[in-house]
Amino acid sequence: MPTDTWQKSSYCGEGEACLNVAATGGLVKVTESGDPRGAILTTTPATWSALLRTLKENHG
């Protein structure tokens, strides 16, 4: 069984409160770095892109 290659968010500060993201098998997986084997959210690349676009537009 292949393992996911996780990437830590570039907006992560110090500590364990970070998001980790992995793209695998046409899906995007997101987990929290404090408990990376806990809850893993799975979504499509289009939905992930829409979320990021919305967050960037509403930042500030």
- Counting the structural domains of the chain, the total is 1
Residue 36 in domain: yes
Beta strand pairing call for 40-43 and 7-8 = unpaired
Does residue 1 sit within a domain?
Answer: no
β-pair partners for 35: none
- 29: in domain: yes
In a domain, 21, yes or no: yes
Residue 43 domain flag = yes
Q: Which residue range is the domain that position 37 belongs to?
A: 7-57
Question: Is the whole-model pTM more than 0.85?
Answer: no
Terminal CA-to-CA distance of the chain, rounded, Å?
Answer: 42
Per residue in 5-52, pLDDT (tens digit) is 888 887 777 766 788 999 988 999 998 877 767 789 999 999 999 998
Residue 2: inside a domain: no
